[in-house]
Amino acid sequence: MDKWLNSHWFARAVALLLAVMMWMVVNLETDTATPADTNQPILIDGVTLHVKYDTDQYQVVRQPNTVQVALQSSNPFYRHNFFPTDSWEVYVDAMGLGAGTHKVPVQYKGFPEDVKVGVIPNMVEITLEEKKTVEREVTVELLGVVAPGYSAGEPIVKPFRALVRVPESQVDTVAAVKATVDLEGAISPIKTTVPLKVVDKSGNVIPGADVTPLTVEVDIPVTSPFVKVPLKLNLTNEMPNGYSLASVESSVDEVTVYGPKEVVDALATSTYPGPSIDLGNLTSDRVMELKIPLRENIVKVEPEYLKVSLKVVPSTTRRLERIPIRISGLSENLQARVLSTTGEEISTLDFDVIGAAEVLQDFRQEDVQIIADISNMPAGVYEVTLNYIFNQSDYIKTAANAPKQVTVEITSKQR
């Protein structure tokens, strides 16, 4: 190997080989880049043709969408389209033209100065049509359904009319202006801003139609299941001594209760508990405005408030005589009798009641019950607490002389 490297013939051979290789590189590159190839144009298909026109007054209803562009340059950089496509544009200028069909030249801009540009075709026909304005009522298109048991009310649209501008030939195709709202699973009122769309008789969107306004506000009431039931005021504590209620007047006798179906169904045969009113310190007439409470799982109660007027008067006393004593809870195989303090059987009681004079005046014996409850008591003698039940329990109470207990003797029935 050392002999080869030191040989002058080996050095000459290497030099010759390098010279041949350099000649091939230079001559082959020159042959592949001939002037004829450099001047060959590059064709670009499917170039978008833009139309500049008065969009307020007219609409293009016919035009070629694309053209072919030919580029020619000696610069190989441009031969491969190595420049941004968004830097140039091919268009026709119809700004000064009116309605009708026009033959206009195709123009371009944004190409480099050393690039020759040709457009095929260089003249095109476009048709402009004058826009017309029509007025249509906005209709709401509802998609989906509200949650089970809930119901959607009539939509309210603001504004409820819209102006539509379309080419004159499309005026008759404008069937409606729609605002679409999704109701799926809704459990509360919907308030939303919705874009408008212009549709034809088949429900298809009309392309290019201008609508004013672009959006509308849509309010849709969504109500839960509801039931109307009587309202019952909750009067708590007894009036101070010497005072009685003559009347209680409420501005609301019935309320509408909204809530889940199972809750509403359970209320259908009952009353709704109203606000509590404490009578413990009431010594004069009173007018009050109260909020109706929301029970658990209740969504809403209408109305929310009520007005209550309480009339307070000095108490009077009335004697009730021979009011029957009723025994409750007696087993079938037992019998019972009420005994007096002397051991004699009694069936009625005499006692006093307290209330407003006008209330006691209309009071009847059948408006009160005296109950002795002996449920689950076997045979024997017991002191049983009496329960006085008044038909107007908020207006009348027993006086101090009313017996609190009676003696009840329970025995087995003789067979």
Q: Are strands 123-143 and 176-182 parallel, antiparallel or unpaired?
A: parallel
Q: What is the structure's pLDDT at 187?
A: 84
Going by C-alpha positions, the residue among 350, 335, 349 that lies closest to residue 408 is 335
Q: What's the rounded Cα separation, in Å, for the pair 213 and 261?
A: 40
Residue with tokens 């002996």: 374
Spell out the residues 6+ positions from residue 75 whose beta carbon is closer than 8 angstroms to its own.
114, 115
Q: What is the structure's pLDDT at 26?
A: 42
Per-residue confidence in pLDDT tens, the chain, 415 aa:
455 445 555 556 555 565 455 545 444 444 444 444 556 778 888 889 999 998 888 888 889 999 998 888 777 666 555 556 777 899 999 998 888 899 999 999 988 888 888 898 999 999 998 888 999 999 999 999 998 878 899 999 999 999 999 888 888 999 999 999 999 989 889 999 999 999 999 999 998 899 999 999 999 998 888 899 999 999 999 899 999 999 999 999 999 998 888 888 888 889 999 999 999 999 999 999 999 999 888 888 999 999 999 999 999 999 999 999 999 999 888 999 999 888 899 999 999 999 999 999 989 888 999 999 999 999 999 999 999 999 888 899 999 999 999 999 999 987 6
Count CA atoms closer than 13 A to 214's CA, side-chain side. 0
Amino acid in the structure at residue 160: F
Q: What is the structure's pLDDT at 11?
A: 52
Q: What is the structure's pLDDT at 309?
A: 96
Q: What is the structure's pLDDT at 24?
A: 54
3-state helix, strand, coil split of the chain in percent (to 5) is 15, 50, 35
Total-model pTM: 0.51
Q: What is the structure's pLDDT at 55?
A: 85
Q: What's the rounded Cα separation, in Å, for the pair 197 and 124?
A: 32
Q: What is the structure's pLDDT at 21?
A: 57
3-state secondary structure of 231: strand
* Token output for 191: 């308030």
CB 53 within 8 A of CB 60: yes
CB 196 within 8 A of CB 162: yes
Spell out the residues 6+ positions from residue 203 whose beta carbon is closer than 8 angstroms to its own.
175
Q: What is the structure's pLDDT at 224?
A: 84
* Token output for 99: 């309605």
Q: What is the structure's pLDDT at 259?
A: 85
Residue with tokens 């005499």: 350
